[in-house]
Amino acid sequence: MRPNILLTGGSGQVGYELIQTLSPLAEVHAIDIQEVDLSDPLALEHVVRKHEPMDLIVHPAAFTAVDLAEEQPELARAINTESSQILAEEAARRNIPMIYYSTDYVFDGRRSLALRYTEDDRTSPLSVYGLTKRDGETAVRTTCKKHCILRLCWVYGLRGNNFFQTMLRLYHQGKTPNVVCDQMGSPTWSRMIAMTTAIIVSKMLNAPHDEYDGFSWGTYHVSAGGVASWHDFATAIFVEMNRQTGQNIALPKPIASEEYPVKAVRPKNSQLDNTRLEAILGLKLPDWQTQLAWCLDAIKNK
């Protein structure tokens, strides 16, 4: 019998890719906001029960509008923390695993740029978004023993409102943006995250039963190799687009974070250390430049 996966946020950047990569492994039951608003706990519990039987809960849905979260902290908490708590309880009750996606924003990014954050480093979010995601992590970790928390960094992809899409739009409009050059991270293509998740799910579902013994539950950092500033990333997009189109649009100009005021404070250092993912699960994502080239190819071939 094929396993059943309950997936939230199937219309999101990561969720959409997860539907493609998880479908060969299992029946994927994607619940979207039309079916249930995650900020409604009773409706969420009801929908989970409607989708019995299930073997795994995968939960990428989140309130991801980082600046808006500063104005709507209750809603951000309901979606990022409380819905994760409910899903973790539902998973624990059935003794099934749960995958939760978290973020580099759980850290304050104040450490030296020569260092990356490991899974064991102290969290200290600077924003409502980061705080509510961190509390979502805690809820999952303490409620559902069989959990996998995947912390992501600077996600972009073919869908949704993300930095990559904004840069492409500006490029096509012939506009040269000013882009922040003092925040460092690893831009990661949502498809790579979904492919990595599929391998993890496959290891999980194939781990010697009946208690999934042998699978290493816990928190993993999952980000592209290498490091870039937002300005480096934007420049790489413009350079590649100039190469593909034969145009010569001027490259993005570097600015400091202070010159681009936003409501939520972002970490200056968002570099995640992926050693645990490689050492325990044998997985290593390509560097960000390779992922960008693949993503731009995917757009060309769409």
Ligand X SMILES: NC(=O)c1ccc[n+]([C@@H]2O[C@H](COP(=O)([O-])OP(=O)(O)OC[C@H]3O[C@@H](n4cnc5c(N)ncnc54)[C@H](OP(=O)(O)O)[C@@H]3O)[C@@H](O)[C@H]2O)c1
Q: Between residues 161 and 209, which has the closer beta carbon with respect to ligand X?
A: 161
Distance of CA 105 to CAs 26, 102, 154, Å?
31, 8, 10
Residue in the shown chain whose Cβ atom is closest to ligand X: 12
Could you give the CA distance from residue 76 to residue 212 in angstroms, rounded to a whole number?
33
- Catalytic position from the list 16, 101, 117, 129: 129
In angstroms, give the least distance from the CB of 190 to ligand X: 6
**How far is CA 214 from its chain centroid?**
25
List C-alpha distances in Å: 13 to 147, 156, 165, 180, 191. Answer: 22, 7, 11, 23, 8
Nearest CB to ligand X, comparing residues 45 and 242: 45
- Minimum CB distance to ligand X, residue 177 (Å): 18
Tell me the closest approach of the beta carbon of residue 211 to ligand X, in angstroms: 27
Decide: 266 and 183 in contact? Cβ < 8 Å. yes
Q: Which is nearer to ligand X, 34 or 248 (CB)?
A: 34
Give the residue with the Cβ less far from ligand X, 60 or 252: 60
- Rounded to a whole number of angstroms, the minimum distance from the CB of residue 125 to ligand X is 12
Least Å distance, CB 275 to ligand X, is 19
Provide the binding-site residues for ligand X, judged by CB under 6 A. 9, 11-15, 32-33, 37-39, 60-64, 79, 101, 103-104, 133, 152-155, 160
Decide whether 155 or 234 has the Cβ nearer to ligand X. 155
212 is catalytic: no
Q: C-alpha distances in angstroms, 61 versus 87, 99, 209, 283?
A: 11, 11, 28, 24
SS3 state at 206: helix
Question: Strand pairing of 184-185 and 228-229?
Answer: antiparallel
Q: And the tokens for 243?
A: 């190469």
* Active site (catalytic) residues: 129
